[in-house]
Amino acid sequence: MSQIHPTQTVLVTSDVHLGAISFEQEMAFRTWLEQAAEIASRIVFNGDLFDFWFEYQWGNTRGHDVTLLQLREIVDAGVPITLMGGNHDWWGGRYLREEIGLDFHQDPFITKLAGFKTLLAHGDGLGTGDLRYRAARLLLRGSVTRFAFGILPPALGDLIANGVSHTKDREQSSRR
């Protein structure tokens, strides 16, 4: 990752959860992204840009083509975008890096942003809290699980992931 100078603008956000938010919220996010690209020297998504993202053997998580194209256009225009994998989109990889051009990281790392040494970490699993969550996290990120899930057809994998994620439920109940 290139060094950013203190006079440059770095915009950081996290937990957008595309795929689990309303259409209006997604449109507002795309508007923000368009405006961010005009003023930022770098854009950083500190985890959970997507409510679920997986790069299957035969495709990727569906439903994000417009946003992915917008991200690609921003990168092509010269604004680097960093995506720190969160607990919902940790399974990114080659496609996000090579096809979209994102600086994608699965694990916390230290870099310089606006001239300051900065730790980028989504935060899930960093503490010593919930042992059941930490065990599930190890299982879900394991190579056997990733391989088995990766050979599923994307539509089936996405259906399973959407059934497990409760972001949409929380989002809908917060609007009541």
Q: Is the dihedral of CA 59, 64, 67, 71 positive or negative?
A: negative
Among 66-70, 138-142, 169-173, the range scoring the smallest mean pLDDT is: 169-173
| Residue 60 within a domain | yes
pLDDT for the residue 8: 83
DSSP state of 173: H
| Residue 142 within a domain | yes
Answer left, alpha or beta for residue 22, where phi above 0 means left and psi between -120 and 50 means alpha. beta
Q: Is 35 helix (H, G, I), strand (E, B) or coil?
A: helix
| Residue 131 within a domain | yes
pLDDT for the residue 168: 60
Range of the structural domain that residue 118 is part of: 10-174
Q: Domain containing 38 — which CATH number?
A: 3.60.21
Q: Which residue has the higher pLDDT, 69 or 145?
A: 69
| Residue 57 within a domain | yes
Number of domains in the chain: 1
pLDDT for the residue 169: 57
- Tell me the pLDDT of the chain averaged across its residues: 86
| Residue 5 within a domain | no
| Residue 120 within a domain | yes
Residue 165 has pLDDT above 80, yes or no: no
| Residue 1 within a domain | no
pLDDT for the residue 70: 98
Answer left, alpha or beta for residue 95, where phi above 0 means left and psi between -120 and 50 means alpha. alpha
At which residue do the structure tokens 């923000």 appear?
32
pLDDT for the residue 135: 74
> How many other C-beta atoms lie within 10 A of the C-beta of residue 123?
14
